[in-house]
Structure formats: structure tokens, C-alpha cells
Amino acid sequence: MASLWQPRTGGLLALAGVVAGLPLILPNAFYYDVAILVGINATVCVGLNLLIGYAGQISLGHAGFFALGAYASAVLTGDHGWPPLAALAAGAAGVGMLSFVLAQPILKLKGHYLAMGTLGLGIIISIVLNQEAGLTGGPDGMPVPSLRALGHTVAGEHAWYALVGLVLIVSVWLTLNLIDSPVGRALQAVHGSESAAALTGVDVIRYKVLVFVVSAVLASLAGSLFAHYAGFITPAEASFARSIELVTMVVLGGMASTFGAVVGAAVLTILPQALTAFQDFKMLVFGAVLMGTMIFLRKGLVPTLAGLIRNRMRSGRA
């Protein structure tokens, strides 16, 4: 029974339950569309949370990795006729290599400088995607063929929902395992104090690089899926605002909480759709909700609420 409260078993089971149960209450394809976007954002955030929440590093360039994955799929399948899965893998491998090479100098930076480094990277990717119009279609974007694999085409919201749901569950499962391994404990030591971690024999740089690459590759994979799902992508995917949005999702949901990242992604993806009734005041309300959350639920949604429930149960028993 107690194991159900462990995130690795209970949490994952709950997530799988939600993913499997949602189709019972989603009334039409629009809701599926929002759910799919939540799933894709959540996959990126789960990876980003590893970096922010566990390794204590801020990346303001993750939209860049997401967009690189998306454009790799778009260009390789569209212009060069690659099979989508090969393009997806090539994109992920390319982003993995890029992030590995960049991680060495960038992750030696600390605090604000690291954020600046990843910010610069994201902006460079955004500029390249905007300017290389011959390759990427420029600011107006480019179309992406459907996702075909093993003789089947993934088409329609239901199929995409199933695929994205599966990818999300697998990424969460992998992440939870990683956190619960010696690597994860080393990362938490790095987050706590780099000097102390190094003193106890943790190879700080190596772990930071590892987690940076893992989160970049997850972003790239999610980007590829998004490109095939949307069928059309623009360089706005790589924008600075989008990077900020991703970081906000992680912070809002609760740093160092994998499910927090999922919840944060869900809230920030659904909110703009839910607020369309406010029309011109949409962004105002959006900002107010974010500020309210950060002021009153300072650790983020999931850790704060989990703490509240735990306290209640404890006092209820007493």
C-alpha cells in the first residue's frame, strides 16, 4: 500500500490512469488536440525539469532544441524523402551531439551566465531558422508530411492521443528511474552544493552534461512528434518566449517534481484556451493567474498541494 505513494509506482500508475481515462470525458477532437499539445509540452518539461529541478541548471534555450527536432523531421521527410522515424532519430542524434558539444563550455558557466549561454544558443537557432528561408521556409514556416511508420500512417486525433500519451508515460518512467538511480542522487548532490558534491567524488561536469543532453534529446523528440502532428511548423517554435514558457511550466508545476512538470505543462497549455472568453484581457488574466500561483504556492503547484494534503492527513489522524 505504501508503495502506491512512491512516485515511481503510484504516481506513474496515476498518470497512466489519467491518460487512459481521459478519452471517456473528452467530448470532441478539439479537446483531444489540447490534450495532445499538453502531452507534447509535458514531455519537454519532464526533461527540462531534470535539468532545472535536479541539476539546478536553468536552460533558456530548450525551445531551440524542440524546434531543431521539428525542423529535422520537416526537412528530412519533406524535402529529402526520409522515413519519418529515421528523420526523428537523426534529429534527436543531431541535437544530442550539438548539446553535448555545447554543454562542455556552457555548463562550466554558473548561475546567470549559464542562463545567458543557453539563451544565446536558443536565439542563434531562432535566427538561423528565420533567415535560412531556402531550407526552412523562413518566418512563414513549412509543411510537414504525416507520420508514417511500419506501413501505417498516424492520422486523426485519437491515434495521436494514444501515441503522445504513450511517449509521455515512457518518458516519465525513464525520468523517475533516472532520478532514483545513483545518477539521480549525484544530481541532487550537485543541486545542493557543487563543491560538496565534488568533494564526495561526484564528477560534477559529467553529470551536468549528461542531464543537459538527455533533456535536449527529449525536447527534440517532442519537437519531431509535434511537427508531424501539426503538419506545419514555423520558427516561432524556437522563439525566446517559447523557451520562457517551457521554464514557466516547470516552475509553476513545481521544480524537482516530475509530475509537477506534467501538471505545469497541462495548466499552461489549457489556460490560454480556457481564457479566450476574456478576449482582449486574456493576457492580463493569464499573468494574474501566474503571479497568484507563484505568490501563494511558492514551491509550485504539485509540491505545495502535496504538502497540504500530507499535513491534513497527519492532523486528521492525530
Partner 1 sequence: MHARLSFRWLIAAFAIVALAASAVTASAAEPIRLGAFLAVTGKGAFLGDPEKKTLETYVEKISGEGGVLGRKVELIVYDTGSEAKEALTFVKRLIEQDKVDAIIGGTSTGETMAVIREVEAAAVPFISLAGAAEIVEPVKKWVFKTPHTDRLAVEKLFTDMKARGLTKIGILSGPGGFDKSCRTNAMALAPAKGLTIVADETHGAGDTDMTPQLTRIKGAPGLQAFLYCGFGAPTSIVAKNVRQIGLGVPHYQTHGSASMSFIQGAEGAAEGVRLPAAALLVVDQLPADHPQKAVATAYRDAYTERYKEPISTFGGHAYDGLFIVLEAIKRAGGTDKAKVRDEIEKTNRFIGADGIFTMSPTDHLGLDTASFVMVEVKDGTWLLLN
Positions 83 through 102 that interact with partner 1 (CB under 8 A):
none
| Piece of 165-173, 207-215, 257-265, 271-279 that binds partner 1 (CB under 8 A) | 271-279
Choice between 68 and 233, CB closer to partner 1: 233
Pairing between strand 152-154 and 232-233?
A: unpaired
Supply the minimum distance, in Å, between the C-beta of residue 272 and partner 1. 8
Positions 165 through 184 that interact with partner 1 (CB under 8 A):
none
Instruction: Confirm or reject binding of residue 138 to partner 1 (CB under 8 A).
Output: yes
> CB-based burial of residue 63 (10 Å sphere; 0-12 exposed, 13-18 middle, 19+ buried)?
buried
Give every CB contact of residue 180 below 8 A, 6+ residues apart in sequence. Answer: 8
Pick from 15, 19, 35, 37: which binds partner 1 (CB under 8 A)? 37
Cα-flanking dihedrals φ and ψ of residue 142, to 5°? -145, 155
Q: Work out the angle at residue 28's Cα, subtended by the Cα atoms of residues 238 and 20, and round it to the nearest 5 degrees.
A: 80
Residues in the interface with partner 1 (CB under 8 A) total: 34
Supply the minimum distance, in Å, between the C-beta of residue 312 and partner 1. 6
| Piece of 3-11, 136-144, 158-166, 293-301 that binds partner 1 (CB under 8 A) | 136-144
Instruction: Confirm or reject binding of residue 21 to partner 1 (CB under 8 A).
Output: no
Pick from 57, 73, 234, 243: which binds partner 1 (CB under 8 A)? 234
CB atoms within 10 A of CB 225: 25
- 278 grid coordinates: 476574456
Give the whole-angstrom CA distance, residue 205 versus residue 195.
Answer: 12
Give the whole-angstrom CA distance, residue 99 versus residue 7.
Answer: 29
Choice between 208 and 228, CB closer to partner 1: 228
Q: What does the radius of gyration of the chain's CA atoms come to, in whole angstroms?
A: 20
Positions 286 through 305 that interact with partner 1 (CB under 8 A):
none
Instruction: Confirm or reject binding of residue 196 to partner 1 (CB under 8 A).
Output: no
Instruction: Confirm or reject binding of residue 236 to partner 1 (CB under 8 A).
Output: yes
- The gap from C-alpha 296 to its chain's centroid, in whole angstroms, comes to 24
Supply the minimum distance, in Å, between the C-beta of residue 222 and partner 1. 14
* Residue 109 near residue 53, CB atoms below 8 Å: no
* Residue 221 near residue 69, CB atoms below 8 Å: yes
- Where do contacts with partner 1 occur on this chain (CB under 8 A)? 25, 27-31, 33-34, 37, 130-131, 133, 137-141, 143, 230-234, 236-237, 273, 276, 279-280, 282, 309, 312-313, 316
